[in-house]
Amino acid sequence: MAEAPVDAPIRLSIDAAGLAVNERSVRRAIWQELRLDADASAPADPAAIDAPPIDTAPVEIALRVVPGGELTVTIHSGSGHHLSRSVATPARMDEVPEVTALLVGNLARDEASGLLARLRRTPLATTERSSRDTAPDKAPSTAPAPASTPASPPAELPPLLPLDSVNVSLVYPLTLRERTDERRFALELGVLYGRIGALSGVALEVWGVTHVLGPVDGVVLSGIGYWHGGPARGLRAATLFGVGGNGLEGASIAGLTTVERGDVSGLQLSTLVNVAEGDVDGVQASGLFNLARALEGAQLGVGANLSHDVDGVQIGGLANWARGDVEGVQLSYGANIARQLSGVQISLVNVGGDVDGAQIGLVNVARDVEGLQLGLVNVAREVDGVSLAYVPYSERGRTQGVVWAATSMPINLGVRFHTGPLYVMPTMSYDPRSEANLIDPINGDYAPGLAFGHRLNISRGFLDADVHYSNRSTGRDYGESAIDLRYRLLAGLQVTRAFGLFAGGGLRHHFRTRGPSDQFVKPELSVGIQLL
């Protein structure tokens, strides 16, 4: 069995910090996969396959294994092409070689035939780097298994590095134990900077930073910060910052910032910023900003919250932004934004895409609404429900100008916004006959108001039933003292699409909120036109 040349145009690199991966088994499995593939499809004359030129850049096969996360294989070809594929990391480390070989074979078949030919004809040279590097005085073994000899079954290997008891670190590599970055400890005691391979227990760094290359299972307490590369279970706390690896089950607490490069199941708590590159199933709470790929739980931020999909609650002082769907509640003082909402938005400004639920704020914007919009200005494409606002605009509704005369106020103007069968109409009324107007025509009686009503269409005719509120004032002395409530029933005819007539009547209920009481109820008649 011939040794592979060191300068062969293929390199294999393995990154598996904190894990015991058998590099020789990985190489043998890849070689076996490629040779078997070649036996099935290569020409009878091996010389017919073009060998790559000597000066061709190497082809690199890179393997990265993250415990509890993903196993990723990447092929870097000399031509600049890069192919990568990832699967879930096997539960047993002795399954890594077989899974790696299958991914390499799959990627090789996806690449151009030239690269596949190179992979079939070229032995594997190695430049491994892992948690168990080859000793410097011993050349790495690169002998591949021949095509006719099946790969020997890998030995049973533990999924993690062997467990050691205690280590004490001043500043790595000034440590009690040797090669601490290749060991897993039950207790790590540090002063300024500790660096270990993995943790199953407790790490305490008095004034510095705890750095764990692989997984963490237990408690990390650091004076300044912590940083680890693998998944974590348990509690991590630091005064300033915390950077996690591939996922967290537990709690991450830091004075300023926490960053998780995977999913979070538990709690992220900091004064300024929390970042989760994966999904959050639990709580993110910070004073300034929270970021998650998807949220199932709660984001609590004095500043802003950002997530893709939300299934739960976003409470932000300034803003909440969900780039995807929200099933739950968005609550803030400034703005709420969601692509689609199934729940409630409460803020000064709400933007919800399609809304199945309620938007409550000064300005509410949505595409299609099934539920309630309550605010000062509501904007939607279509409303199947109720839109209550001073200006409720619906693209598929109808907006009309209305002019009418009434027995109590001769001149009345309004803009009627129809959202389905309901309408809202801001109004302004003027009475030139008042005593104040006789003295000062500029400052006669006027009365701003608002009407809420329901329309029943009957062919070209219609019936309107509404309640009209107005606040009558005299001159520049405006105060909510003289209130009129009108209960009206109006019948009309749409003469053309843009012009209609209506007439009707009802009751006018007048009362004062302060000053002398002069409450009364009188009948009132109205007649007018509507435009558009």
442 or 420: whose pLDDT is higher?
420
Residue % of the chain over a pLDDT of 90: 44
Beta bridge partners of 226: 210, 242
In whole angstroms, what is the distance from residue 182 CA to residue 17 CA?
8
In angstroms, the Cα distances linking 465 to 171, 424, 506 are 81, 12, 10
For residue 8 the two structure tokens come to 């062969």
DSSP 3-state assignment of 245?
coil
Q: Which amino acid is at 454?
A: H
Q: Residue 33 phi/psi, 5° resolution?
A: -60, -45
For residue 54 the two structure tokens come to 């000597």
pLDDT at 155 over 80: no
In whole angstroms, what is the distance from residue 358 CA to residue 341 CA?
9
Choose the CATH number for 398-531 among 3.40.250.10, 2.40.160.20, 2.60.120.10, 1.20.1250.20: 2.40.160.20
Find the mean pLDDT for residues 92-106: 81
Distance, CA of 134 to chain centre = 43
Which tens digit of pLDDT belongs to each residue from 315-369?
998 999 999 999 999 999 999 999 999 999 999 999 998 999 999 999 999 999 9
Find the mean pLDDT for residues 446-466: 89
pLDDT at 123 over 50: no
pLDDT band, residue 435 (cuts 50/70/90): low
Which tens digit of pLDDT belongs to each residue from 36-81?
444 444 443 433 333 344 444 456 788 888 776 788 888 876 555 6
Check: CB of residue 108 under 8 Å from CB of residue 34: yes
* Adjacency order of strands within the sheet including 59-65: 82-88, 70-76, 59-65, 10-15, 125-126
Q: Which helix or strand (DSSP H or E) is residue 260 part of?
A: strand 257-260
Mean pLDDT (the chain, rounded)? 80
CA-CA-CA-CA dihedral for 103, 104, 108, 109, to nearest 10: -40
pLDDT of residue 90: 82
Check: CB of residue 187 under 8 Å from CB of residue 165: yes
In whole angstroms, what is the distance from residue 452 CA to residue 400 CA?
14
Task: Match 């509704």 to its residue by tokens.
Answer: 397
CA 443-444-449 angle, 5° bins: 105
Which tens digit of pLDDT belongs to each residue from 171-195?
999 999 999 988 999 999 999 999 9
Which tens digit of pLDDT belongs to each residue from 469-496?
888 776 555 556 678 899 999 999 989 8
Find the mean pLDDT for residues 142-156: 39
CA 57-61-63 angle, 5° bins: 150
pLDDT of residue 481: 67
pLDDT of residue 479: 58
pLDDT band, residue 219 (cuts 50/70/90): very high
Check: CB of residue 452 under 8 Å from CB of residue 466: yes
Q: Which of 144-148, 259-263, 516-520 has the highest mean pLDDT?
A: 259-263
Which tens digit of pLDDT belongs to each residue from 281-309?
999 999 899 999 999 999 999 999 999 99
Task: Match 């609650």 to its residue by tokens.
Answer: 313
In angstroms, the Cα distances linking 231 to 263, 280, 459 are 9, 14, 68
Check: CB of residue 297 under 8 Å from CB of residue 312: yes
Tell me how far apart the terminal alpha carbons of the chain are, to the nearest angstrom. 91
Check: CB of residue 462 under 8 Å from CB of residue 455: yes
